[in-house]
Amino acid sequence: MISIKDVSKVYGGKVKAVDHLTLDLRPGEIFGFLGPNGAGKTTTIKMLTGITTPDGGEIVINDRTLEKDPISYKRQFGFVPDSPDIFLRLKGLEYLNFMGDIYNVESGVRQERIDALAKRFDMEDALGDYISSYSHGMRQKIIIMGALIHDPSLWILDEPMTGLDPKSSFYLKEMMREHADKGNVVFFSTHVLEVAEKVCDRVGIINKGKLMFCGTMTELRELVSENEGLEKIFLEMTNDEE
């Protein structure tokens, strides 16, 4: 469904942000992309979403590539960036309608999705307010709602739990599970091991641009005890706040 093949990105001719990354994401899974700060998570997500171009390699989403079929490629996913401070001059509802317009979501369906998402994220009373007046968590929620308005098969979320209150975080995890259980893929990054542990079917660990591990959390735990490099990264990601 999603295949990342030998993808690299070098910044300024020397920083190997992502170094020959190969990863396949399977239908029905929540995949946690883990790594300490500066590991290459955001750069990978930027390449997946077409925000930045890889220096080499190929990314295929549902049989489409960005080069051959950019519009259809981008329709396959909903993307939540790590900073939700965007479209601050719009009201919440205006933003959701804007996203609905971009993705041609028919008005009846759109209304149903907005209602359901607003209820789930406890945002019903806030949709008439400007995004600039929202708290960080509310901004995060409205961006998530906007990303899901066209019901994409692939969700790409960069550090999605950061700033969410426990209730919203719980609902988001529940929605991620439901979405994956329908045969879709949820790909999200985090530098907090605990978050991954609770929801992921598989995790990939990236460090200094290289994929150090890919498998289940149980497999990871077994490996960590005998691999010093992995243990060090593992420790960097524990004892952190959500």
Ligand X SMILES: Nc1ncnc2c1ncn2[C@@H]1O[C@H](COP(=O)(O)OP(=O)(O)OP(=O)(O)O)[C@@H](O)[C@H]1O
The residues binding ligand X (CB under 6 A) are: 11-12, 15, 17, 35, 37-43, 191
Cα distance between residue 30 and residue 183, in whole Å = 10
Strand partners, 154: 77, 185
For residues 39 and 232, give the distance between their C-alpha atoms in angstroms, rounded to a whole number: 13
Of 122 and 236, nearer to ligand X (C-beta) is 236
* Closest CB to ligand X among residues 36, 152: 36
Minimum CB distance to ligand X, residue 234 (Å):
15
CB atoms within 10 A of CB 42: 20
CB of 92 to ligand X, least distance (A): 26
Instruction: Give whichever of 14 and 182 is closer to ligand X, judged by the CB atom.
Output: 14
Residue 37: HSE in the Cβ half-sphere, 13 Å Cα cutoff = 1
Distance CA 200, CA 215 (A): 10
CA gap 2, 63 in Å, rounded: 8
Q: How far is the CB of 18 from ligand X (least distance, A)?
A: 7
Least distance from C-beta 11 to ligand X, angstroms? 3
Closer of 113 and 191 to ligand X (Cβ):
191
d(CA 230, CA 226): 9
- Identify which of residues 27 and 50 has a Cβ nearer to ligand X in the complex: 50
In the complex, least distance from residue 192 CB atom to ligand X, rounded to whole angstroms: 10
